[in-house]
Structure 1
Amino acid sequence: MTEDLTRMLGDPDPDIREGIAFPTMATWIDEGVYDDLLVGLGDGMCHGLDVGLGAREGDTVFRRSFSALILTECIDRTTVAGLGGPDVVMRWGDRVMSWLSREQDLRGFVPGKGWAHAVAHGADALGALARSPYLGRLELTVVLDVIADRLLAGTDAFLVCGEDDRLAFATMHLLRRDILGLDVLEPWVARLAAGARTRGSATVNPFRVAGNVQGYLRSLHLQLALSPAGPTGHPAVRSDLLLVLMEQLRATNPAYFAPRRAH
C-alpha cells in the first residue's frame, strides 16, 4: 500500500493525490504506524524530490512537491518521537534544501489539477527542520540562506499563492528557537532588502524578484508583530528584529514614507 500511495502522491488528479494519498500517509506517520520504517520512508521521499527536477511545467512537480510535504511529516515525527537521530534529519535536510533551491516549476495552483505549490511545501519542510532539536546555529543559518536564495532567484511568474506567507511562517519557527541573534539576522534582512528594490528594465519585469521579496518581508513583519507568544514567549529578538524590518521596508518603499511637503 505504501508503494501505491507513494505513486499516488504524483497523480495529477487532486482527489487521488490530496484526497487519498497525502492524508492517509500523513495520518499513519502521525499515529506511529511507520515508526519502524520511518527512515526508509523519508529516504524514499527524498528520491521523490528528484523526479523530473528541472522541468518548468508538466505533472512531475506533484511528485516532488508532495514528497516534500510527506518529508515534513517525517521530520516532525522524528522530533516528537525521538526517532532517526541527527544524521538522518541532516541528510533529509540537505536533500530538501538542495531541491528547493533548484526547483523550476513554481506554479502554485494548476487549473484542473489542483495545488502544485512546490515553494509552499518546501517552506513547510524548512519549518519542520527549524523545529528539529538536531539543528543548531550553523544549520539554522543555512536554512535562512536557502530562504533568501529562493526569494532572490528570478522567476517566470510571481509567487501569488501564499508562498511568501509560508516562508515567513517557517522563519517564525526558526526565530522561536532563540538560537540566532541579530548579528546573523540583521545582515540577512539587509541582503533580502537589497533585492527588494526595483530596477528599471525594458525586457524583464523587476518585480519578479522585488515583488516576491517585498511580499516576504511584509509577511514576516506582520507575523512577528501579530503572532501570539509560544510556550516560552515571543522570540527573544522580536522587538529588535521588528525595528530592523520596519527600517528596511521604509527604505525599500521610499515613495510611501517620504516626508510630506509643505504647501
Structure 2
Amino acid sequence: MSLDYSAVPRMPDGRTAAETIDSVAALSQAVRVPMGNGGTMMWHVFGADQGNKPILLLFHGGSGSWIHWIRNVVPLSQHFTVYAADLPGLGESDPPDDVRDIWSVTNCVKTAMDALIPRDRDFAITGFSFGGMVSGHVATLVGDRLRRLVLVGAGGLKATRKPGPKLRKLLPEMTPDVLAAEARRNLEILMLHDPAKVDGVAIHMQILNTTRAKTRSREMGQAFRLSEVLPRVKTPLTGIWGEYDSTTYPHIQERIDLFRALQPDFEMNVIQDAGHWVAYEAAEAFNAKLMDILPR
C-alpha cells in the first residue's frame, strides 16, 4: 500500500516537502556500495567535486535516513566532503543480516566505508542518536583514521531517561489526515522541543522513514549498546546536545560524567532551546558548532 502525503503541509515557499527534500538530494551524488552480506548501502555525497576537502561522515538516528541532516549537508559541504549514510535496514539501504544486532549493522557499515572512502584518507564521524551508537562501534574497528567522533544526542547509554508518552506506530492504511497528525505528535514527543518547528519536511520525513524502517534501533538503545563499547573507543569524543533533548533532559550532567570518566577532556556543547533533533531544529547554531569542533 502506497503512502498518502496529501495532508502534509507545504513549506513556506509553496513547495511540497517531497520537492524540498528532492531539491537537496539533487545536489548530491547518490552512491550505492556493497556491505558484505549481498546487500548495498546508500550514501548521499555532497561536495565531492569541490576539491580535496576533509571527509565527514554523517550517521542519522533510529528509523531515519540521510534526511535527518537535510539542513546541514549543504552548509557543511562548503568545508567538507560530506558522506551522509542511510544506515543498514533504514532509508534506502538494504537490511543487515540481523536487524536486532548492533554488530551486524556495524560490520555492514564498515564494509561499505572500505568500499567508499579512499584508504589513504582520514575522516571524522558525526552520529545522531542511533547513529551515535553505530559510530561508537565503528570507532573500535577503523583505528586512527577516525580523527574525531561527534556524538549528537547519542542513544544506547546506560543513563537516566525521564519517562514520556509512547510514540504511535504509523501505518500506510491510515487516512492522510491521521497519518500526518500522528507523525506530528511523535515529532513533538521525541524529536523537536518547539511544536512550531514541526514543518512539512519533518512530518514527511517521519512518515517516510518510520514506515520503511527494518532495523530495530530502539531495541539496541534499550540494551545500552553504546555504553558497552565506549571504554574501547580511543578516538577523541565531543558531544552536541539540544538543551531539552527528550532522551536526556534534565539529566545531561549524568551523560557528561559518563563521558568524562572515559575521556577527561570530553567537551559537551549544549544548544539552547532545542530538542533531540537539534541538527534540524537549531540548524544554524548546530552547523556553526560542528564547524568549530571538527578542525581542532
TM-score with structure 1 setting the length: 0.32
Q: Which has the higher strand share?
A: 2
- Greater RCO structure (CA 8 Å; 6+ sep): 2
Kindly name which structure, 1 or 2, has the bigger radius of gyration based on alpha carbons.
1
Bigger share in helix: 1
Relative to the length of structure 2, the TM-score reads: 0.29
